[in-house]
Amino acid sequence: MEFNDSFLIKHTDDLKLPVTGTVHRQQMTFHCQQCNAVLADSTGVCGEMKSMDSLMCLRVTNDVVISDKMESEHKGEMTNCIYSSLKCRGCRCALGKVIHSAPSRLALIRSIFLLYKANINCYILNSSSLVKASTLTFDQKPLRQSMNEVRQQFEAQLEQMSRIKNRLVDRSVTSNMVN
Q: What are phi and psi of 41, to 5 degrees?
A: -135, 170
Q: Which CATH number fits the domain that encloses residue 88?
A: 2.170.150.20
Residues 152 and 103 reside in one and the same domain: no
What type of residue sits at position 66?
A: I
Q: How many domains does the chain have?
A: 2
pLDDT at 149: 73
- The pLDDT of residue 38 is 94
Average pLDDT value for the chain: 80
Distance, in Å, from the CA atom of 119 to the CA atom of 122, rounded to the nearest integer, reads 10
7 and 58 in a common domain? yes
Query: Are residues 54 and 17 both part of a single domain?
Result: yes
Coil, strand or helix: which one is 135?
Answer: helix
- At 3, is the pLDDT very low, low, confident or very high (cuts 50, 70, 90)? very low
- Asked if the model's pLDDT at residue 21 lies above 50, the reply is no
- Residues 64 and 128 grouped into a single domain: yes
Cα–Cα nearest to 72, from 97, 55, 107 = 97
pLDDT of 10 over the 60 cut: no
Is the domain of 148 the same as that of 128? no
Contact 125, 27 (CB under 8 A): yes
**Residue 34 scores a pLDDT above 90:** yes
Residues 6+ apart with CB under 8 A from 86: 60, 64, 65, 66, 67, 94, 95, 96, 97, 98, 113, 114, 115
Q: Which band of pLDDT confidence, cut at 50, 70 and 90, is reported for residue 2?
A: very low
- Please state the rounded mean pLDDT for residues 49-62: 90
Q: What is the average pLDDT across 119-147?
A: 79
Q: Which domain holds residue 158?
A: 142-179
pLDDT digits (tens, 9 = 90+) for 100-118: 988 888 888 888 999 999 9
